[in-house]
Amino acid sequence: MTRQQSVWVSALMLIASVTAMSVPFASTANAGEREFNATYSVNDDTAFKLEFGVGSVTFERSSDDSIEVEMIAKPSEKKWFGKANLEAVELNAEQDGDRLVLTVPEQDGVTLQWVIRVPRIAELNVDLGVGQIAGDVYASDMDINLGIGDIDLEVYGDVDSVKTDVGIGDTHVSGAEENSNDRAFISASSRAKGKGDARINIDTGIGDITVRIK
């Protein structure tokens, strides 16, 4: 085998191993749900985005160099979400350099429950249609958008700014050097300032937002 052939073989083996590590493992816990587990290598410069339609996500802080994901898919209790098709649910991951995007393209009649362990990264972005977002995270640039539901987060570390806006509901931010919480009829907004670098923007159409800076 020539040196060039050896390099190609090594490269193909490396690609295969990386691909295997990135593919989520799916199992059926019982007849009424599917569970997915996956781990993705990240670093301080990683921008992580999560996008799905209906469900809940709980964030936990991690000291590892990876994002660990546990996702359970169940039939929705709301009949107007449509008939559940658990077999169509797939966890898609796109990882390119310092960018990681997780999506679930097919979610008809299904609600998703996530637990995601996240170390220190550069950006955290979440787009969720209906559900709940909660837990604790390290301070980073954040852009979180929720259509209907509540957000309750503890942010550990210094921030530069926090902006939260609710169309119908309430919002409260605490723990920063400067905090302001305002309510106007049915809408609400909060602003906070600090001496860190992280810029946090959170919006929800209907629901409540609570952010505590630790």
- Above 60 in pLDDT, residue 11? no
Q: Do 145 and 89 belong to one domain?
A: no
Q: Do 69 and 117 belong to one domain?
A: yes
| Of the residues 97, 126, 155, the one at which a domain ends | 126
Q: Do 98 and 147 belong to one domain?
A: no
Residue 115: inside a domain: yes
Residue 171: inside a domain: yes
Q: Do 87 and 181 belong to one domain?
A: no
What local confidence, expressed as pLDDT, does residue 88 receive?
A: 84
What local confidence, expressed as pLDDT, does residue 87 receive?
A: 84
Global pTM value = 0.83
Q: Do 47 and 103 belong to one domain?
A: yes
Residue 5: inside a domain: no
- Above 80 in pLDDT, residue 18? no
Domain count, the chain: 2
Integer CA distances (angstroms), 181 to 30, 165, 184, 211, in order: 45, 10, 10, 11
Residue 131: inside a domain: no
Domain that holds residue 187: 139-214
Q: Do 92 and 147 belong to one domain?
A: no
Q: Do 56 and 78 belong to one domain?
A: yes
Between residues 22 and 200, the one the model is more confident about: 200
Mean pLDDT of the chain: 86
- Above 70 in pLDDT, residue 36? yes
Q: Do 105 and 32 belong to one domain?
A: yes
What would the pLDDT profile of 96-129 be if each residue is shown by its tens digit? 999 999 999 888 888 999 999 999 999 999 999 9
Q: Do 163 and 84 belong to one domain?
A: no
| Of the residues 92, 126, 160, the one at which a domain ends | 126
Q: Do 187 and 161 belong to one domain?
A: yes
Residue 18: inside a domain: no
Residue 177: inside a domain: yes
Residue 55: inside a domain: yes
What local confidence, expressed as pLDDT, does residue 106 receive?
A: 80
Q: Do 178 and 213 belong to one domain?
A: yes
> Which distant-in-sequence residues (6+ apart) come within 8 Å of 11 by Cβ?
none
The full DSSP string for the chain is: --HHHHHHHHHHHHHHHHHHHHSPEEEEEETTEEEEEEEEE--TT-EEEEEEEEEEEEEEE--SSEEEEEEEEEE-S-GGG----GGG---EEEEETTEEEEE-S--TTEEEEEEEEE-S-SEEEEEEEEEEEEEEEE--EEEEEEEEEEEEEEEES-EEEEEEEEEEEEEEEESSSEEEEEEETTEEEEEEE-SSSEEEEEEEEEEEEEEEE-
Residue 6: inside a domain: no
| Of the residues 126, 151, 171, the one at which a domain ends | 126
Q: Do 103 and 154 belong to one domain?
A: no
